[in-house]
Amino acid sequence: MRRTVWTRAQTTSGLKNVLFGVTPGKRLCLATAGTVVGGKLEGVKGPSGEVRRRGGDGQVRRFEEIPHTGRSGWVNLVKFWREDRFRHLHKYMQRTFNALGPIYRENVGTVSSVNIILPSDISELFQSEGLHPRRMTLQPWATHREIRKHSKGVFLKNGEEWRADRLQLNKEVMMSSSVKCFLPLLDEVARDFCRMLQARVQNEGRGETGKRSLTIDPSPDLFRFALEASCHVIYGERIGLLSSSPSLESQKFIWAVERMLTTTPPLLYLPPRLLQRIGAPLWTQHATAWDLIFSHAEARIQKAYQRLTSPKKRGLDPALEGVQYSGVLAQLMEKGKLSLDLIKANVTELMAGGVDTTAVPLQFALFELGRNQEVQERLRHQVRASWAQADGDPHKALQGAPLLKSTIKEVLRLYPVGITVQRYPVKDIVLQNYHIPAGTMVQACLYPMGRSAEVFEDPLSFNPARWSTSKEGGQPEGGGRGFRSLAFGFGARQCVGRRIAENEMQLVLMHILLSFRLSVPSSEDLETTATLILQPETPPRISFTNL
Ligand code: HEM
């Protein structure tokens, strides 16, 4: 296995970094100011051919000295297109860190970034994110809203506007009191999903009754589960996706989210307004996909609005008064702190962000549990004991099975939905002894970090228990403790759907483990591809055997 060791000469800020990239039979010694050209490393060569360090006087180095992948953003962009790097950006980043060390600069088209991998550097970045943290703007999404004259939600807003919306959303989806309210809704969908799976195993599986087994690609069912769960929590509505004949409208929504996600990365590096003006097919596909997502949300919101303003719900029917929690949308409408327009914008974003992001990690989770039987048994043991104690209460059941949460963390370490988290520091900072001016886009690169032996012990093994040790992540030391589990981002701007996602995934895994033994026909590593989210190139097949 290829292993790169970064030795730190000094501590956190103001430290010098020496890189010894060790590949079998090859040793690369590089300090700074290297550049990768045509896949090879270029730098200042010393007499023995090694790349010599510049500016080794302990002074903070200039921004321009950060190793980089080529000066011209346009040349890089052409390479990205030609070599299909967008789809393998995660692997490309991993290779580039191996070649250039724990920090490098990159220009692609109009976008420039500084990329980092070590928790200590990410911690430094986090401390300078300010009161209104900013991520890289997904310009194609923003342009779609502007052209169609839709309001933007938290995903696309910045500054005080972002904060005002975000504080309202946090109350409905992040606070533990609201989590307790929507947990039973998620649990209901997770149980229905398992019932549907049981019926399929019974009808289509092989083997004697009670011990039947079925091998399938579960991804279409997981997408339906995730959409059904999102609709239940957000709109308070069941849309019947787990029935035998799901509606065409919902299938179209799932298709549209997928199309919107796959068309985003190439559009990030091109000016969307120009593409719109010339009628470029890529832009048209992207905008049409968003239009479909918006019309799906609009129809659901109208329905919920009618329900909410009907005399029964308004409290004229005493039998219904204060009885039920009816979803995030209803809560936002009842509180009346956000305008209807802003509620629509934010709820549409929650829907667009809430389906693939959970359906895909669930595929990875089933695959990893299927090929790691011991881990699966240990987890099932804990889940069974907890479920037996919980008396049907999903909150208690999850509390009693912490290994479930660790399993999700471990899946997201190896397969982070978003391969980077970006921030623009509000003040100048020093990373790896390089000066980073305020306002620079810095990316914490989660995929390479999750697989780095510098950050995690035995990084390629699937071991949820590593998260329950006192050293978070069971990692070798390296500073920045804590900044290792970052799949949901960090700080005030972290994923607002985090609690929905974590609970939804844990609950469905819990019910699956209570009903089935999982195995995989092939335990070969999965090939992955990065659209806007990291996905398996081909969805894995999983065997479900009745317990
Ligand atoms: C495993 C599932 C998920 C992962 C790994 C994930 C990851 C992320 C990440 C990394 C960010 C950026 C955070 C940052 O900049 O620090 C984010 C933001 C966001 N996510 Fe998620 N997400 C997931 C599920 C969801 C779900 C289920 C929803 C909706 C119900 C959602 C809605 C959003 C929204 C609206 C934002 C923007 C928040 C803001 O800028 O204030 N996500 N997510």
**23 and 88 inside one domain:** yes
**402 and 451 inside one domain:** no
Mutating to test ligand 1, I would choose from 264, 342, 360, 495 the residue with most ligand atoms within 8 A of its C-beta, which is: 495
**434 C-alpha to center of ligand 1: Å?**
30
Q: How far apart are CA 37 and CA 190, in angstroms?
A: 49
pLDDT at 1: 38
Atom 27, ligand 1: which residue's CA is nearest? 354
Q: Which ligand 1 atom is at minimum distance from the Cα of 423?
A: 15
Residue 48 lies in a domain: yes
**166 and 272 inside one domain:** yes
Atom 37, ligand 1: which residue's CA is nearest? 155
pLDDT at 86: 84
Q: Using H for helix, E for strand and C for coil, what is the string for 205-262?
A: CECCCCCCEEEECCHHHHHHHHHHHHHHHHHCCCCCCCCCCCCHHHHHHHHHHHHHHH
pLDDT at 460: 97
Show the domain range for 436: 3-131+419-468
Question: In one letter, which amino acid is 87?
Answer: R
Q: How far apart are CA 530 and CA 420, in angstroms?
A: 11
Residue 147 lies in a domain: no
pLDDT at 203: 92
**446 and 398 inside one domain:** no
Residue 138 lies in a domain: no
**67 C-alpha to center of ligand 1: Å?**
31
**What is the separation of C-alpha 511 from the centre of its chain, rounded to a whole number of angstroms?**
23
**263 and 160 inside one domain:** yes
**467 C-alpha to center of ligand 1: Å?**
21
> Bridge partners of 443?
115, 422
Other residues' Cβ atoms within 10 Å of the Cβ of residue 385: 12
Other residues' Cβ atoms within 10 Å of the Cβ of residue 62: 11
Best CA proximity match to 116, nearest among 400, 516, 504, 436: 436
Listed in sequence order, the residues at least 6 apart from 500 whose beta carbon sits closer than 8 Å to its beta carbon are 173, 182, 186, 230, 233, 354
Sequence-ordered strand ranges (E) for 401-479: 420-423, 429-431, 434-436, 442-445
Q: How far apart are CA 537 and CA 526, in angstroms?
A: 7
Count of structural domains within the chain: 2
Annotated binding site for heme: 495
**163 C-alpha to center of ligand 1: Å?**
15
**264 and 387 inside one domain:** yes
Residue 111 in tokens: 């976008």
Q: Do 228 and 504 form a contact (C-beta atoms < 8 A)?
A: no
**431 and 402 inside one domain:** no
Q: Distances in Å between the alpha carbon of 59 and those of 14, 103, 168, 434?
A: 8, 17, 45, 9
Give the relative orientation of helices 219-235 and 281-309 as an angle to the nearest 10 degrees.
40
Residue 473 lies in a domain: no
Residue 335 in tokens: 């509180």
**110 C-alpha to center of ligand 1: Å?**
25
Residue 257 lies in a domain: yes
**423 and 403 inside one domain:** no
Residue 490 lies in a domain: no
Residue 399 in tokens: 């509390």
CATH number of the domain that 56 lies in? 3.30.43.20
Q: How far apart are CA 69 and CA 154, in angstroms?
A: 33
**162 and 283 inside one domain:** yes
Q: Which ligand 1 atom is at minimum distance from the Cα of 422?
A: 15
Atom 18, ligand 1: which residue's CA is nearest? 495
Q: How far apart are CA 365 and CA 226, in angstroms?
A: 14
Averages of pLDDT over runs of 10 residues in the chain (547 residues) are: 41 29 28 35 32 56 96 89 88 97 93 96 96 94 95 97 97 96 96 95 89 95 94 91 82 88 85 88 95 91 82 51 77 92 94 93 98 98 97 96 97 98 97 98 98 96 88 49 92 97 98 97 95 94 96
Residue 478 lies in a domain: no
ipTM strictly over 0.90? yes
pLDDT at 57: 66
Annotated binding site: 495
Q: Which ligand 1 atom is at minimum distance from the Cα of 490?
A: 16
Query: How do 103-108 and 434-436 pair as beta strands?
Result: unpaired
pTM: 0.88
pLDDT at 480: 53
Best CA proximity match to 152, nearest among 136, 143, 160: 143
CATH number of the domain that 293 lies in? 1.10.630.10
**547 C-alpha to center of ligand 1: Å?**
35
**388 and 431 inside one domain:** no
Return the H-helix or E-strand segment holding 277.
helix 272-277
**391 and 323 inside one domain:** yes
pLDDT at 311: 63
Q: How far apart are CA 538 and CA 360, in angstroms?
A: 12
Q: Do 239 and 228 form a contact (C-beta atoms < 8 A)?
A: yes
Ligand 1 neighbours by CB, cut-off 6 Å:
135, 154-155, 166, 349-350, 353-354, 357-358, 361, 412, 417-418, 421, 487-490, 493-497, 500-501
Residue 487 lies in a domain: no
**402 and 434 inside one domain:** no
**357 C-alpha to center of ligand 1: Å?**
8
